[in-house]
Chain A
């Protein structure tokens, strides 16, 4: 066929994609979120480098001092440095963010994949389970489980995981169902590929972005939940520095020593914002890339 031979190879090359490259960067808000998270990560990984004082050291000479150059966030009712305690608390709270969501995310993803691909009665059963679970408020359910198991971080993780995976599974299930309808899934079946290969090699990578974004948001929710439970005395136990615990410690002194609760509170808000902004930026970035 002579026509084809005449063609300069340039015409057969994939279309230029130069304008797209610029869009491949994370948006500014996402970068801001990322920066906040990085700061907290630093606090969590090496608090002894950043915190000026020992978070557990009592100093009866400096009890409930307002913010000053020596104690930028002030001191608490035992004279402990609030800044140092807030920094050390990042360790516990980031740990909560990860551990309270890791199992639900992984197990929920696996379950969602299999349920979505299988369909039929497996799916119907799952939908009934979801119907039942969503009628009970999430926090109430978690508190009920912790109440049975007893307070403490480990039991809190177990409680959150037992309930939290369902949200991931539901999200993944609907994504997989949407992807399953696309022709590349059918093409995989016609190619004679096995079920697991189609699910995990083909469908999962295409269905994962919304999940990844939700995971980020969920981490911020986990910090809030962890803090709430800490505040209620069901999560981290004093004297462990944890933002919720710190706020709870300060609640009796709100009128006389506001700094005891305000600064850890700000840390919670900032941490939550960090995950949310980063998650949003990630979502935009993934959307553009698709």
Chain B
């Protein structure tokens, strides 16, 4: 089966630097893909590149195949149909993504009119349904409310309702829960999972938190300094990571199941996109690096069933398993 969305060697260049390069990813139908990375990994830029939401100064290379059609070469009118219509996006900070001077209901009906031609009472009815669906209580009354009258969690729900208005097949969620409290984050993630099943969507969840991925995603792609380091099924990647960076991230992450003890972190900081190291971009911080790692960027190659890694030491890591090291 052909994937719904397929990135082929996607690169983004802004000024003299390339914060994203050679990203190849597939998103299957009905799948939740986790896109994990630290700040500067290029995860948000990749998402924006898909919908061509980057500033004009940014050059995009490679292909973004949406149901077989390359979005990077589509004319402006065509991309607008896809954007919001077939692929929708929710952002980290709903307060900046929502228009502060328009009632929430109007922002939903606007999208309904634009993409589905729904107007008047029909659009209103549908808007109430949508708000209801994302768990906003007393939806009919909240239609006239402004974003600032909502709490952070409710705003994110409203944002999701707007995104869902046109019945998209794919939802790009860019750190949708980072600004929220733990219990609210939990609610929003569960909501996304429920909506995915109800509406038969695919979801790409961009996050810096592997814990969020573990409970939510089917498959994971790990980004570092603008490149895909490893992809694979979530469970596989958490139990048998095949990239030294993935392993480092797993070791860095505190887990409520472990008592007072040191974490095996990763030393140093992610590289500046303007001064990337030669060879594997993780090599300078990597405890497993060998001389060959510093020579050439290792390609992303299959290392096991459905698991790909761009690590020269993948075989050793797989053999050792997660807890060794």
Contact = CB atoms under 8 A, between A and B. Distances in A.
Chains A and B come from one and the same complex = yes
A6 B274 CA distance: 25
A3 B266 contact: yes
A6 B287 contact: yes
A11 B274 contact: no
Interface in A1-23: 1-4, 6-8, 10-12, 15-16, 18-19
Contacts of B284: 7-8, 10-11
Instruction: Kindly name the residue among A1, A3, A7 whose own CB sees the greatest number of chain B CB atoms within 10 A.
Output: A3
Interface residues of A, number: 14
A71 B188 CA distance: 82
Nearest to A14: B269
Interface in B151-170: none
A18 B267 CA distance: 23
Contact of B274 (A7, A8, A19): A19
Interface in B207-243: none
Nearest to A4: B267
A16 B274 CA distance: 8
Given A10-B284, A11-B285, A3 B267 contact: yes
B190 interface: no
Interface string B246-285: 0000000000000000101111110010110000000011
Interface in A163-211: none
Contact of B268 (A2, A7, A16, A19): A7
Nearest to B248: A3
A210 B239 CA distance: 55
A16 B275 CA distance: 7
B267 A6 contact: yes
In this complex, which of A7, A11, A12 has the most chain B Cβ atoms within 10 angstroms of its Cβ? Answer: A11
A135 B296 CA distance: 71
Given A1-B262, A12-B267, A7 B285 contact: yes
Interface of B: 262, 264-269, 272, 274-275, 284-285, 287
Interface of A: 1-4, 6-8, 10-12, 15-16, 18-19
